[in-house]
Structure 1
Amino acid sequence: MNGMEISTILQLTELKSFDDNWNLTKKVTSIVDSSEGRKIIIHILDIWNNVNDDAKQIWLDIIERAGFYPYYIDKVSSNNQYALSLQSQIRTAFFKSDYLHNVYFHEQQKEIEQALSLGSNIAVSAPTSFGKSLLIEEVVARKKFNNILIIQPTLALIDETRQKMSYYSDYYNIVVNTRQEAKDKNIFILTAERVLEFLDLPNIDFFVIDEFYKISTRRNDDRIDALNVALIRIMSLDPQAMFLTPTVDSLSKKFREKYQIRFFNTDYALVNTNLIEIRNRNGNPYSGKSKKMQLFKLLNRLNEPSIVYVKSPNEAYKLANEYLDWLEENSTTNNSLDIFEWIDSNISPDWQLKRLLQNGIGAHNGALPRHIVTSEIDLFNSGNLNVLFATVSLIEGVNTVAKNMIVYSHNKGTNPIDFFDFANIRGRAGRMGQYFTGNVYIFNDELGVEEFVIDVPYIDQHEISDEILINIPDDDVLDTVRKEKLTSGLDYDLQDIIKRNLISVSGQKNLYYFIEDKYEQLNFLRWRNVPNYEQLWQTLYLGYRFLGSNDRQGFAQNKAVTALKLINTSLPQVILEQKQYYQDKGKQDPINKAIDYILKFQRNEANFKIPKLLAVIDSIQKYVFEKKGISDFGDYTYFSSILENDKIDERFQFLIDYGVPTSAINKISKIIPANISGEWNIINYLKVNFHAIKPVLISYEISLVLKVIN
């Protein structure tokens, strides 16, 4: 046993012999603080029921020595035969949280918790299974800070964090969007964009950025500018800060020095990862149809929850449907899920996602309505779905893990994934306390290790966009000549508008010069409330021409048509009209093409891009017309708000962020009196009067509303 390779040890399914246990414990004792030692210990925990009973007390001592206190306490408390010595009791008490009920830190969590207690700014780079989110909850549970800000990259992660933090809602006001009011003590859970939109944000005492790697120029993330500018704004308030990221090699030295950040970089993991390459008889990766067949055979063989990583939503749906067709019999496992009634009424009975869900298969798509994304994840976590085909929007945007992670594609959209992407995908396999070992099946060549150092553009300023540069305080700017060129000829009010808009500086300047030069001919800009088609497409055309990358009038006209349909017509009707359009064009499967197009438009264009574009044009046209002494300028805020929030009354828009379908919100809004406003007043009204509201809701809507009010 002593001479056995670690890879062989990790394949053991039992360890019944006491002598074999004794020899292995001696080996592990000498390497207990190494990654290899921890892997063996985790494997022993994985096969615990098949380990010699007399050897378990020895293993428990080693588990404690490794600092695996969550596992140690779980095993000790589940069996009265394991008695803690006085020394063990003292050590265990040290690792117990003083604020979280029955929670024990592992060794390295405790080290970070102590640094937080000393008031240090910290950055943590660690594997997915490290338990970084527990550190956030520890800080919140202490109730030491008046205002805590947690920046999350996606709305799904915001909702997940909100649900965890709701336990503390008796002490803190939980704020997840800019329409909610701040109180004396708040936890703000926001995207970087929403931080910048929050004009009356109070002084922040404790600041967290989760998924901090997204701030780096290396990631080419769409929201890098907003994250950098939010960092500038909040760190100027001098809060205590914590930056969390999956495993990276290092973090900008200048950034660490500027804010006196302690950097904890560790490979300490509480689950093992078993890499399995899927290869043909020649040892090469499969391709084409044979690759697909191997995937289907693998999925059919696996009995545990499995996530299949694919490059795009189209590939997710295509593979999911082909896998269902490949199965000899469609074993309908989910005949009566509540979500089906909602799909039939609000999307279409013929939606391909319904057929997949009925057969225990999911296809995750970031363009789906938020509540469907959440419900699909819940169905997967509860075992109603055994397979989930997923894109990077799930891997980076939702905290979901599985026993098996299958890396089918080596692309992220049209670009190849790099080692960091691969490590992030790989990290979703396994779950602390549930799947001690996660399996990662690789269909392509395994990527070589690459160094990843997180640069912070606003600090390092090696590669920096105009949009970040213009927001950096003058004293911190390295290339002063470049910044002066950006602001030359602009008065302070216009500079402030351009800074806040956080979109192409040169595009905004050109748009300003165009409107100022031709303002007398641009009456179509002076609309308010809901525009007509002519006003909207011409306004959008200016936006796409100067701020986007498309100067075709037809492009703006198509966007305007669909946006106005969503405002003036019900979603099922818009889908049916789009289906008819595809049918007339002779397209195959017109209903699912229509659903995909409309839902994608609604989530990406109507809920985000068009309101953002209109806000920029709105700010500049107002500035020009006011400067010219014309008070009859446009105001796009109402239209942008109803487009962004699916026509929901402003009083109830927070319920969208809480995962309630707009269909339910529309029904609720007709019952709640007009004089009831404010998040907690509305939630309280729902609680007290739910017996009167429940009859108008379908089962799926009831379950999601109950999640909010409970």
Structure 2
Amino acid sequence: MTWLEIMVNRALNDPYLNELTRKLELKYAHNFLYQKDDIVLTEKEFDDVLRFADILSRSSGAEGRNKAYKIISLLYDAYKDDIQFQYYANSILTKLGNFASLNLAVGNSETVDTLETALEKEIKRVYQKVPFNDLVFTDPQYQLFEAMKDSNHFSFSGPTSFGKSFIMDAFIQYIITERHGIDNIVILVPTRALINQVTARLKKTITDENYKVLAHPVVPTIYKNRMLKYVFVFTPERLISYLGEKENPVINYMFVDEAHKIIAEKDSRSPLYYHAILLAERKSIKLYFASPNIPNADVFLQLFEKSVDEQMIIRESPVSQNRFFVDYVEGNGRMFTETGDDIVFDDLGKREHGYVSKLLRKLGCDCKNIVYCNTVADTIDFALQFSKNLPEQSDSRIDSLIELIKTYVHKDYFLIDCLKKGVAFHFGRLPQRIRQRIENLFEEKVIDYMFCTSTLLEGVNLPAKNIFIFSNAIGNSKFSDVDFWNLAGRAGRLSKELSGNIICVRIEDKKNRWDTPHKDLEVVRNKKIDDVQPIVIKGQKNFYTNLERSLRAKDFTRANYSQTEKEVWDHYANIVFTHQASKTDSILMSNFLRKNTDGKKLLERMDKENHIPLHILEQCSNIKVSYQNNIWEKISGAEKAFPEEITTQSCQAVLEKMYDYYNWGEEESKGRNPMVKQRTRLQYFAVLMYSWMKSTPLNMMIINIINYYKKKGEIWDKNETIPFDPNNRNQINLIINNLISDIDNVLRFKIKNYFLNYHLIVSEKIGKESAGTNWAEYVEYGTTDSVIIELQNIGIPRHLSMMIKDDYAEFLTFEEGVLVDINAEALIENIDCDKYKDELEELRAIFL
């Protein structure tokens, strides 16, 4: 150990440093909670704590460096104009390589440079410069970037604020440049919500004209035969679809964003993630995994049987967080300190009229705030309550969004009420077009308060100064350590603040509202995240026994497993059989055979009885093999997959057939949000599906569904049927949110997958030409029009594609009925900016 590390260790273990740090945190807490600057450091204390920070910043370990940064962040508000603070902050942040925070904390730092600091700063600016722009990597970012350059596969994890996307974008630019643009690249994201965000970001960062950024698993005709290369942004199902088409360009690199989703036990999509990546790995694609806060990042390399040496866990954070708990049930609060001793405040948490709104206004004044509420209902209710007594905002950007919501969604949508007050809510059921605008307004600080659900945990990039956490659960399940810190880690924006605040709030004595504080708060207090244990590797909860029972169509080992757990096991069981059919070696397959003595015989027998080709099994891994084989037996040569004519009646007939073929009464009728709790629900989906496939605009679809409920006379709400009232805004908003959710989660995911499977089986049995049209494509794109489909494939959203097709088709060039060119500049110049103001801005962002 060097003398410098000995000094660092002595500093870390010095009781005096703990005493000083605690006093700094108390000072910060008084400023934040009471707006009182009544805790004063003596001149000696100020000098000593800066000297401690200077020593710690020279550490090679994350603990010392994080503590040095923490001290600077705690001192900043009170001492940012002090020349001594500026000297030390300049030196310390330079040693940490945190130039984004340096520019914020010191401004023109050259005025306080020593010779040592100036030299170190210049060296880092040269050697740690981000390729292709003027930014500078932090020290750990630079170490990671250099390690990735020398690897064929890699896994890394770091704090939420570390800059995973920043690293991936820089590395993609490096690959494109260093390898002279010969590679096709995929970024794999967990949900559609992230596709637009990542695609928009990449279009700004990738400057090579030979590269196109695409999000659909079809290379558009317009780009074929032009010697182009691609960066694809796919969800797992889109990756599987892409890999299933042999003529698609070969993929060379894949970056798996939010990699912890692969092993999430309570996410029914995790098997799909695993299956998609394994299919890619079989094609020798180089894999790179990025995840937040996972302490054993090598687990993803283990899962796909890669060398675990090429991994890095980053524990150094470029932003620090201050942790608070406000308890309105017990009437007190506390700050969780770096030393482990809570600072208790007995005069917080008084329950009086509007107490929650008062807390948010007091602590969130003049900064960006995220309020986590768990459920959609709570998110909307809290947003409405909070915004109710606020003054109306006068801002043209908010007014423009309100007008868009009125025309594109509905005039009675509750989001309008909130936006008028500078408040918004954010969850998966918002239309993507609206959600993107809200995110932009929040980023620009036009909106100061964002109420949200766990959509934020999917990787949506929305950092804020304050994170208020009203619930310690996702759905009915308590936060895991990873989930909590993925959410809480968004407190503090690099280059905007040196620190952020995590405020856990117990509003009432209710389940999953911090109802057992002593136990629930451990994850907040200790900042400790345990190693993740993938169920595929460890086999918890009789995992492999239950896979065998799924394959044998027997009951699981317990009756009270959740519906999500059952769906996960059924899906993994299907994947095991797919590995049998493809003779694939995998950890999943080897563990299944090792833990089930009759597993090999079972799989061999199923393989002999199976009629479904491998390419269909791989594309439809979430559908039980037994159902697929039953359909194979029933198909006759005269039967087309789907009717040529699309009507509400033909939609109903197709759904009725799918209900029987795939046993939806059993498979899709259970859990918290079943697709079809009752068979009569198919009438609703027939109306919805018909409107969607017929290119109906969203606002008209909403009107159609409202009319459907008018005729029906009743609506399902909170587990009961109630009379439908078209003048009841709560019911109208319920319809809107459910409709948008049903389009994304039911039509475009569940029903699309069933339609795809059915069409593939019919095509295989009687021939593709005889099978006829593929409704799966229509359900995915929301249209039967090939031009609108092709425009979506090149990255134009559905609503813009319909506008171009209807009003500006003269700027499209066709050859033999196929779109081969689009004159984007002329299109943008000729759009009626009065009629299509918002659409024009969206097209400019896409093309320019």
Partner of 2:382: 319
Relative to structure 1, is the Cα distance of residues 519 and 641 closer, same or farther in structure 2, using a 3 angstrom cutoff? closer
Name which of 579, 582, 585 aligns with 2:706: 579
Give the conservation status (yes or no) of the 8 Å contact 2:303–2:537: yes
Of 403, 410, 429, the match for 1:348: 410
Report if the CA contact (8 A) 2:380-2:425 is conserved: yes
- Rounded to whole Å, the distance in 2 between the matches of 1:659 and 1:20 is 58
Q: How far apart are 1:19 and its partner, in Å?
A: 4.7
What's 1:27 paired with?
A: 52
1:561 partner letter: V
Q: Partner of 2:271 in structure 1?
A: 225
* Alpha-carbon shift at residue 632 of structure 1 (Å): 8.2
1:592 aligns with 2:733: yes
- Say whether the 8 Å CA contact 2:655–2:682 is kept in structure 1: yes
Q: Does 1:370 align with 2:421?
A: no
Shift of 1:257: 6.0
User: Where does residue 513 of structure 1 map in the other structure?
Assistant: 630
Percent identical across equivalent pairs? 19
- Of the three residues 279, 295, 299, the one matched with 1:249 is 295
Structure 1 contact 275–439 (Cα < 8 Å) conserved: yes
Distance 1:658 1:289 in 2: 55
In 1, distance between residues paired with 2:454 and 2:709?
Answer: 29
1:12 to partner: Cα distance: 4.3
- 8 Å Cα contact 2:374/2:454 also seen in 1: yes
Q: Which moved more, 1:443-452 or 1:673-682?
A: 673-682
Find the residue that maps to 1:489 and give its secondary structure: helix
- Tell me the SS of whatever aligns to 2:131: coil
Q: Which residue of 2 aligns with 1:61?
A: 91
Distance 2:141 2:19 in 1: 31
Q: Who is 1:498 aligned against?
A: 617
Equivalent residue runs for 1:62-141 within 5 Å: 62-72=92-102, 78-83=108-113, 85=116, 87-89=119-121, 91-93=123-125, 95-97=127-129, 99-119=131-151, 121-141=153-173
What is the identity, as a one-letter code, of the residue corresponding to 1:135?
I
1:370-416: CA deviation from partner (whole Å, max 9, x where unpaired): 11111111111112212111000123241111111111122312333
Q: Secondary structure at the match of 2:170?
A: helix
Deviation at 1:195, TM superposition (A): 0.9
Query: Residue 305 in 1 paired to residue 424 in 2?
Result: no
Which of 607, 613, 616 pairs up with 1:488?
607
1:179 to 212, 218, 224: 218
**Could you say which residue in structure 1 is the equivalent of 2:522?**
448
Instruction: Give, as a single letter, the amino acid of the residue that structure 1 aligns with 2:262.
Output: I
Identify the match of residue 251 of structure 2 among 166, 188, 204. 204
Separation in 2 of the partners of 1:565 and 1:289?
51
Q: Is the 8 A contact 2:20 2:49 kept in 1?
A: no
Amino acid at match of 1:136: M
Higher alpha-carbon deviation: 205-214 or 6-15: 6-15
Following the alignment from structure 1 to structure 2, what is the Cα–Cα distance between the partners of residues 40 and 534? 61
- Aligned CA distance change for structure 1 residues 69 and 533 (closer, same or farther; 3 Å): closer
Q: Residue 608 of structure 2 aligns to a residue in which SS?
A: coil
Classify 1:310/1:656 alpha carbon distance in 2 versus 1 (closer, same or farther; 3 Å).
farther
State the number of aligned residues. 697
Query: Could you tell me which of 299, 305, 324 is aligned with 1:276?
Result: 324
Are 1:540 and 2:658 counterparts?
yes
Partner of 1:433: 495
- Equivalent pair of 1:69/1:106 in contact (CA under 8 Å): yes
8 Å CA contact 2:457, 2:486 repeated in 1: yes
SS of residue matched to 1:81: helix
Paired residues of 2:90 and 2:109 also in contact (CA < 8 A): no
Q: Distance in 1 between matches of 2:819 and 2:215?
A: 13
- CA distance in 2 between counterparts of 1:535 and 1:634 reads 17
Residue identity matched to 2:306: K
Write the mapping of 1:636-651 to structure 2, written as runs, cut at 5 A.
Answer: 636-637=773-774, 639-647=775-783, 649-651=785-787
CA displacement, residues 581-638 of structure 1 (integer Å, 9 cap, x when unaligned): 5564344434323322322222222332221221112223344455xxxx8854452x
> Structure 1 residues 594, 366: closer, same or farther in 2, change over 3 A?
same
Name the SS for the 2:324 alignment partner: strand
Q: Tell me how far 1:649 sits from its aligned partner.
A: 3.9
- Cα gap change, 1:284 to 1:421, in 2 (>3 Å): farther
Distance 1:69 1:31, change over 3 A: same
Query: Compared with structure 1, are the counterparts of its residues 553 and 158 closer, same or farther at alpha carbon in structure 2 (3 Å cutoff)?
Result: closer
Which position in structure 2 is the counterpart of 1:404? 466
Q: Which of the numbers 668, 680, 683 marks the counterpart of 1:557?
A: 683
* Range with greater deviation from structure 2 (303-312 or 7-16): 7-16
Structure 2 residue 747 is the aligned partner of structure 1 residue 606: yes
For residues 61-110 of structure 1, what are the alpha-carbon distances to aligned partners after superposition, in whole Å with 9 as ceiling and x for unaligned?
22223343443467677244134547425532454226131121111111
**Separation in 2 of the partners of 1:171 and 1:74?**
37
Report deviation, 1:268: 0.9
Report 1 or 2 for greater relative contact order, CA contacts < 8 Å, sequence distance ≥ 6. 1
TM-score (norm 2): 0.74
Deviation at 1:212, TM superposition (A): 0.5
Question: Given that residues 180 and 679 in structure 1 are in contact (C-alpha distance below 8 angstroms), is that contact kept between their aligned partners in structure 2?
Answer: no
Measure the CA separation in 2 of the matches of 1:497 and 1:224: 20
Query: In terms of mean alpha carbon deviation, does 358-367 or 343-352 score higher?
Result: 343-352
Q: State the alpha-carbon separation in 2 of the partners of residues 300 and 665 from structure 1.
A: 42
* Aligned partners of 1:362 and 1:387 also within 8 Å: yes
Bigger drift between 338-347 and 79-88 goes to 79-88
| Worse-matched range after superposition: 407-416 or 656-665 | 656-665
Distance in 2 between residues matched to 1:67 and 1:160, nearest whole Å = 28
Q: Where does structure 1 lack aligned partners over 5 or more consecutive residues?
A: none
How has the CA–CA distance of structure 1 residues 291 and 700 changed in structure 2, closer, same or farther, with 3 Å as cutoff? farther
1:216 to 255, 263, 270: 263
**What does the per-residue CA deviation read over 1:253-273, in whole Å, with 9 as the maximum and x for residues that have no partner?**
734863344221232111111
How far does residue 125 in structure 1 lie from its aligned partner after superposition? 1.5
CA contact (8 A) 2:213 2:230 kept: yes
Amino acid at match of 1:165: L
Give structure 2 stretches of 5+ with no counterpart. Answer: 1-15, 29-36, 334-346, 506-513, 544-568, 670-675, 714-722
AA of the residue aligned to 1:229: H
Deviation at 1:439, TM superposition (A): 1.1
Q: CA deviation at 1:292?
A: 9.2
In structure 2, distance between residues paired with 1:254 and 1:469:
18
SS of residue matched to 1:273 = strand
Deviation at 1:366, TM superposition (A): 0.7
Native 8 Å contact 2:424 2:449 kept in 1: yes
Query: Following the alignment from structure 1 to structure 2, what is the Cα–Cα distance between the partners of residues 526 and 680?
Result: 26
Going from structure 1 to structure 2, the CA distance change for 1:261 and 1:524 (only over 3 Å counts) comes to same
| TM-score normalized by the length of structure 1 | 0.88
CA RMSD, 1 decimal: 3.5
Match of 2:844 among 678, 691, 706: 706
> Which of 164-173 and 347-356 deviates more?
164-173
Give the whole-Å Cα distance in 2 for the aligned partners of 1:564 and 1:289: 53
Counterpart check, 1:530 vs 2:646: yes
**How far apart are residue 140 of structure 1 and its match?**
1.8
**Which range moved further: 573-582 or 651-660?**
651-660
* Segment drifting more, 696-705 vs 267-276: 696-705
| Structure 1 residues 701 and 366: CA distance shift in structure 2, 3 A | same
Question: 1: distance between equivalents of 2:361 and 2:164?
Answer: 34
- Given that 2:697 and 2:799 are in contact with CA atoms closer than 8 Å, whether structure 1 keeps it comes out as no
Question: Given the superposition, is the C-alpha separation of residues 470 and 669 from structure 1 closer, same or farther in structure 2, using an over 3 Å criterion?
Answer: same
* CA–CA separation in structure 2 for the residues paired with 1:676 and 1:695: 26
Question: Is 1:672–2:788 an aligned residue pair?
Answer: no
Mapped partners of 1:248, 1:29: distance in 2: 29
> Out of 447, 452, 470, which is 2:577 matched to?
470
How far the C-alpha of 1:426 sits from its partner, in A, is 0.5
